[in-house]
Structure 1
Amino acid sequence: MAANITTEYKLNEKIMLIQVFVVLFLCINLLLITTFFSKEVFYTTMRYVLFAVTLMSDCLFLFLSDILLILSFYRFMIQMWLCLIIYIISSLYIFVTPVTLTAMTLERYVAICLPLRHAELCSPRSTLHGILIIHSLSSLPCIVFLSIFFASASYGSHTQGRTCSVEIFIIHTWQGHLRSAISQFYFLIMCITIVFSYVKIMRVAKAASGEDKKSTWRGLRTVGLHALQLLLCLIQLWCPFIEAALLKINLMLFINVRYFNYITFILAPRCLSPLIYGLRDELFFHTLKRLALCGLRKKH
């Protein structure tokens, strides 16, 4: 009994710590979103618009994944239709961020390697089309996975109350393998795109001189950081398989590993976007700083 109480206390402690991280990251992202809407140049420039898409995507995904984490840890039962809605939105936005990062990498490639075509290819109209393409591509894995689920599951299972997790939508083992294969295919294409852009930008950086060289190397570092963020997102896809294997061995080990994975591969990649653009971009950083200082002055 004492061991169970201690274990429950430790779990509560971990959940509370995660809430602190989630609230902190959400506050930072909301401040950055407010900064984005404060100047016309931000919502008329492709790279800033795509940055805002990643911020909104991360906010929504963090919020929903946190709800799922709480439901899972405390074994709350909810109706299947509600779990389905949460799953559809979280499944969509788990892909939106990495696909948008790939689009941001291509925008940097066009800006540095094809500067004469940048205004044409990265116009506000093209940006809107790009956002629609990003969401369409991100929704395909979810559509395929849920089509198989609805074809395989009985009608009564859609109205049952259960603990909400992605595992309840996997009826056959091959569904999990198919889901993983689709995700790996997406990330392979994204990785190839980023490596291609990195190599092309590096060639331009070596040939450039003066201010152009400085700007190009800055773009190169940004692409490198995108690659790191995508790597963390890719590792996140392998986590369920590791956790499923550990669950068969030891429950406490499974809980500890899932906790570590959540912080390292779900929370961490979602706070890299503010670091990359919110702090490294001079115009955005100065606007953010001015907005934050104005808020502090008003409080005083």
Structure 2
Amino acid sequence: MATNNSSVYKINDRVILVQVLVSLFLCINFLLMTTFLMRDFFYTTMRYILFAITLLSDSVFLLMTDILLILSYFHFTIQMWLCLIMYIVLSLYTFVTPVTLTAMTLERYVAICMPLRHGELCSTRSALHGILIIHGLSSVPCIVVLSIFFASATHSFYTKSGICSVEMFILHTWQGHIRSAISEFYFLIMCITIVFSYVKIMKVARAASGESKKSTWKGLRTVLLHGFQLLLCLIQLWCPFIEAAVLQTNFMLFINVRYFNYVTFILAPRCLSPLIYGLRDEIFFHALKYYALCGLYKKYQSSFHDKFKS
């Protein structure tokens, strides 16, 4: 009996830890979004607009997965129609972040390899069109899965109550295979795009010199970090298969593996965006520091304004 109580206590500690991490990341994302909205330079520049989209996507995704985690842990049941709405939002934003990362990689490719056309191809209008394309592409997997589900589910299913999970909308094994195939196809295309951009930027980096070379190598490191984020997102697709196999052998091991997968492959990739653009980008970092300190220190204030004058 003591062992069971100890196990439940450990799981409870983990849930609390997740709440702390999610709350921390949401606060950081809120600060970054506030910084983005405070200067018109940011919301008229394509790379910062795309950065804001990843922040918004990551925040929605973290919030929704955390709600599902709490509902599942405390065994709360909800109506299936409400679960369906949550699934649509979660499914959409599962893909928005990696697709946006791919768009950000292409923006760096254009900036470094096609600098004369950067202003034309990466204008504010192009960014708005890009946002529509990103959400359109991200919605395709959800539309395919739900089309099959709507054709298979009975009317009584929507009035039932249960613990909300993604697996509830996979009524047949082949549906899961189709979902996995679509996801893997998306990530294959995204990985090819990342590799293509990396190779092209590498060629420019070798030929560049001085300040141009420094800027190009910084862009190259950014592309590599995007690639690492995509790799973590890709591993996330394999997690359900691993968890299903572990569940057949040991339930407590299944809980441990699922917790590890959630922290490593769901939380971690979506916490790298603030690091990549919020801290590594010099202009954004100075703005963030200025607003975080509420403009109290004059040395930061003068440094901040000098950055935007230059």
TM-score (norm 1): 0.97
1:241-272 per-residue CA deviation (whole Å, 9 max, x = no partner) reads 10011111111000000000000001100110
2:58 paired with 1:58 = yes
Residue 83 (str. 1) matches residue 79 (str. 2): no
CA distance in structure 1 between the partners assigned to 2:116 and 2:192 by the alignment: 24
1:102 aligns with 2:102: yes
CA distance in 1 between counterparts of 2:294 and 2:228 reads 34
Structure 2: how far apart are the matches of 1:170 and 1:287?
Answer: 46
1: CA distance, partners of 2:9 / 2:280: 40
Q: Distance in 2 between matches of 1:236 and 1:85?
A: 22
Residue 74 (structure 1) shift:
2.2
- Describe how 1:1-300 pairs up with structure 2 within 5 A: 1-294=1-294
- Structure 1 residue 296: deviation in Å? 7.6
AA of the residue aligned to 2:218: R
Give the Å deviation of 1:153: 1.1
Distance in 1, matches of 2:172 and 2:250, equals 24
Q: Following TM superposition, by how much is the alpha carbon of 1:294 offset from its aligned partner in structure 2, in angstroms?
A: 1.2
The secondary structure found in structure 2 opposite 1:271 is: helix
- The letter for the 2-side match of 1:265 is F
Deviation at 1:4, TM superposition (A): 2.6
Rounded Cα–Cα distance in structure 2 between residues aligned with 1:151 and 1:10: 42
1:41-79 superposed Cα distances (whole Å, 9 cap, x missing partner)? 000000000000000000000000011111222221110
Identity in percent: 75
Instruction: Supply the AA of the counterpart residue of 1:188.
Output: L
- Please name the residue that 2:301 is paired with: none
**Unaligned ranges ≥5, structure 2:** 298-310
Q: Find the counterpart in structure 1 of residue 308 from structure 2.
A: none
Aligned equivalents of 2:261, 2:296: Cα separation in 1: 36
How many matched pairs?
Answer: 297
CA deviation profile, 1:180-218 (whole Å, cap 9, x unmatched): 110000000000000000000000000011110000000
SS of the aligned residue for 1:75 comes to: coil
- C-alpha RMSD over aligned residues: 1.0
